[in-house]
Structure 1
Amino acid sequence: MNELNWGIIGCGNVTEVKSGPAFNKVPHSHLHAVMRRDAALAADYAKRHGVPQWYADAAQLINDPVVNAIYIATPPASHEEYALAAIAAGKPVYLEKPMALTAAAARRIATAAKANNVKLSVAHYRRGQPLYQYVRKCVRENRLGNIRAVTLRLHKPFPENAGWHVDPKVSGGGLFHDLAPHQLDILYSLFGRPRILSSSALNQQQVYPVPDLVAGHLLFNAQILADGLWTFGAPAEADTDTCEIVGTAGSISFNFFGHPACLLRIGDHEEKIVFESLAHVQQPMIAAVSAFFRGEGDNPCTGEEGAEVMEIIEELTQTD
């Protein structure tokens, strides 16, 4: 496959800036078609972004003979249906996170891709961004020494109108399912699959039928203790987004949803490193996925990895 001609299933808000334009900005990659169930919105997107073809039916996009790679950016409830259809058509899939409505569905997608020898990558796109590449380098090169602990805090006001994000039949959960996968995947990519020591998931506000507070203690590599707390009912002045990784030689602190920067402390030395904001935050990942689909690179996030992150999410949000 020399040139990728992408089709997007679900050309909604996430594709306007974060991902969609990037498909025309990486080597040997072109955005050929988009699909949305609302034909008028699909046509409008295609016109505004200069996309040659649009559809209101996913099957038509999947079966477009020009389309040879598919990006699925719909809400999670339809990920499995569309991913399995694209895999059955033999077309490689770039699948938005969270990977599916449930971990079991994510596993079915990963299994189908492997059984049909179809390439599948999951859009845990922070893996490709410079900030997290730098954090990975510090950990892998042992600049922090032996890693001992991770502290993660995310406190956000609960939005009055969260739409489908807080409908478990569409999203699988609440804002935790929307935001925490970014954080948990970075920890997973650094340290592997954790053992969940304890967790609590509460619906404190009783506004939507999903947890709005999640807490968990995770053990990585049988020696790295991670403590996470996610609240989605905090006042605006308490808005917090921090992650700190502490080792025997130093520490590094960074955020996930603000300006890309980190604070590195090694002994008496303290350094703040600021990274340039990306115009299209998924572009590094899309470049890596495109190289993988073309046979020129490794898979930056496999279906099996995406399914494991889904399993971590489900373990942390189990309620009795």
Structure 2
Amino acid sequence: MNKIVWGIIGCGDVAEVKSGPAFSLVKNSELKSVMRRNLAKAEDFAKRHHVKHWFNDASDILNDPDINAVYIATPPASHLQYALEAIKAGKHVYLEKPMTLNTAEADQIVRALKASKTKLTVAHYRRHLPAFLKVKALLDQKAIGEVLFADIQILQSRQSQIITKTEEPWRLDPEISGGGLFHDLAPHQLDLMCQYFGMHTSAIGFSGNRSGDGADNIVNGIINFNNGIQCRGIWSFNNSESDQKDACTIYGSEGKITFSFFGEHVTCSTKETSETFSFKNPKHVQEPMIAAVVDYFLGQRENPCAAEEALQVTKIMDAFTSH
């Protein structure tokens, strides 16, 4: 295999700019087909993005012998089904986050992978954006000494610009999304914490609904990592616009690192100095991750985000929302 030929299952809002076009821009990668249950919308996407084939049935992609990898970008409720079908069909998988609705489903995917030769990467793409690579580098350099703990605050209003808007508000339906806006946004933050601090020993949290729309809209949680580092976080989606916040602070014995999960700046402050680093994200923010996935599928690098790593994030989300 010297080229990855893709089919997209679920060419909706996420695939429009963040990811879809990148499959044709990355070296040794080609986007051949797209699928969406609404055939007219699949055709519209395909023609605008110069994709040759479009379908309204995923089997048309999974049964195509020329396609050796699929990008599953449907709402989370169908991730398990399509991932298992792709594994059975022998296709490599790039799976959108959150990985599944819950830990039990994520476990099924991990077990299926172990019994197959399929490669699967979960789309925690912030790992490969420059700002978050810089945070990792600063931590590795011990720029703030020994890390003590991290603090996450995601406070958003219903008009928030970081919340994806769609025709159908499925993110507020736990049966489709897994549990509301927390399950849509928290994987971004929690995966980075796991990348920075490693495996966790325990997590506990509390969640609730303060607006009556059916999904949790306030979640608090604490994670204890194997190395003794702790992380606390709050996610609230019923705030006033003036109180909106998207921030993380990592505290160390000699200073702190502050950054936004949806921004392009990182500040490292110590007793002696404070420096802010600025970055520019690519137009298609998943492009660096997709390039790494292609290299992994071609056997040229390690997995940029294995299913077992995404399973850890799922376990933390379940722990935060079980009370």
TM-score (norm 1): 0.96
CA offsets 1:233-260 (integer angstroms, 9 cap, x no match): 0001111000001111221100012x31
**Counterpart in the other structure of 1:30:** 30
1:177 has 2:167 as partner: no
CA offsets 1:247-278 (integer angstroms, 9 cap, x no match): 11221100012x31111113221111110122
Q: How far, CA to CA, are the matches of 2:36 and 2:121 in structure 1?
A: 21
**Counterpart in the other structure of 1:266:** 270
1:118 has 2:118 as partner: yes
Mean alpha-carbon deviation: is it higher for 156-165 or for 127-136? Answer: 156-165
**Counterpart in the other structure of 1:158:** 158
Q: 1:110 to 1:198 in 2, by over 3 A?
A: closer
Q: How far, CA to CA, are the matches of 1:77 and 1:303 in structure 2?
A: 17
Q: Where does the alignment leave 5 or more consecutive residues of structure 1 unmatched?
A: none
**Counterpart in the other structure of 1:106:** 106
Number of residue pairs aligned between Structure 1 and Structure 2: 317
**Deviating 4+ runs (over 4 angstroms):** 159-162
**Counterpart in the other structure of 2:195:** 189
Deviation of 1:66 (Å)? 1.5
Q: CA RMSD in A?
A: 1.4
SS at match of 1:7: strand
Amino acid at match of 2:284: H
Amino acid at match of 2:184: D
Deviation of 1:190 (Å)? 1.0
CA offsets 1:17-39 (integer angstroms, 9 cap, x no match): 00001111111001110000101
**Counterpart in the other structure of 1:244:** 249
Q: How far, CA to CA, are the matches of 2:254 and 2:111 in structure 1?
A: 41
Q: Of 272, 297, 305, which aligns to 1:293?
A: 297
Deviation of 1:210 (Å)? 1.5
Deviation of 1:140 (Å)? 1.5
Deviation of 1:125 (Å)? 0.4
Deviation of 1:222 (Å)? 4.8
CA offsets 1:69-104 (integer angstroms, 9 cap, x no match): 100000000001111111001110000000011111
Equivalences for residues 28-107 of structure 1 within 5 A: 28-107=28-107
1:130 has 2:130 as partner: yes
Q: How far, CA to CA, are the matches of 1:36 and 1:198 in structure 2?
A: 37
Q: Residues 196 and 216 of structure 1 are in contact (CA less than 8 Å); yes or no, is this contact kept in structure 2?
A: no
CA offsets 1:88-134 (integer angstroms, 9 cap, x no match): 01110000000011111111112111211210100000011111111
Q: Residues 203 and 316 of structure 2 are in contact (CA less than 8 Å); yes or no, is this contact kept in structure 1?
A: no
Amino acid at match of 2:30: H
Q: How far, CA to CA, are the matches of 1:293 and 1:122 in structure 2?
A: 13
Q: How far, CA to CA, are the matches of 2:297 and 2:228 in structure 1?
A: 36
Mean alpha-carbon deviation: is it higher for 261-270 or for 299-308? Answer: 261-270
Q: 1:282 to 1:197 in 2, by over 3 A?
A: closer
Mean alpha-carbon deviation: is it higher for 150-159 or for 5-14? Answer: 150-159
Q: Of 229, 233, 240, which aligns to 1:235?
A: 240
Q: Residues 34 and 51 of structure 2 are in contact (CA less than 8 Å); yes or no, is this contact kept in structure 1?
A: yes
Q: How far, CA to CA, are the matches of 2:159 and 2:119 in structure 1?
A: 37
Q: Residues 130 and 281 of structure 2 are in contact (CA less than 8 Å); yes or no, is this contact kept in structure 1?
A: no
Q: How far, CA to CA, are the matches of 2:219 and 2:132 in structure 1?
A: 24
Q: Residues 110 and 120 of structure 1 are in contact (CA less than 8 Å); yes or no, is this contact kept in structure 2?
A: no
Q: How far, CA to CA, are the matches of 1:198 and 1:10 in structure 2?
A: 33
Q: Of 302, 306, 312, which aligns to 1:308?
A: 312
1:256 has 2:261 as partner: yes
Percentage of matched positions with identical amino acids: 45
Q: How far, CA to CA, are the matches of 1:115 and 1:55 in structure 2?
A: 29
Q: Of 271, 275, 282, which aligns to 2:279?
A: 275
**Counterpart in the other structure of 2:321:** 317
SS at match of 2:137: helix
Q: How far, CA to CA, are the matches of 1:275 and 1:266 in structure 2?
A: 21
Q: Residues 72 and 94 of structure 1 are in contact (CA less than 8 Å); yes or no, is this contact kept in structure 2?
A: yes
Q: Residues 221 and 320 of structure 2 are in contact (CA less than 8 Å); yes or no, is this contact kept in structure 1?
A: yes
Q: Where does the alignment leave 5 or more consecutive residues of structure 2 unmatched?
A: none
TM-score (norm 2): 0.95
Deviation of 1:195 (Å)? 3.8
Q: Residues 98 and 310 of structure 1 are in contact (CA less than 8 Å); yes or no, is this contact kept in structure 2?
A: yes
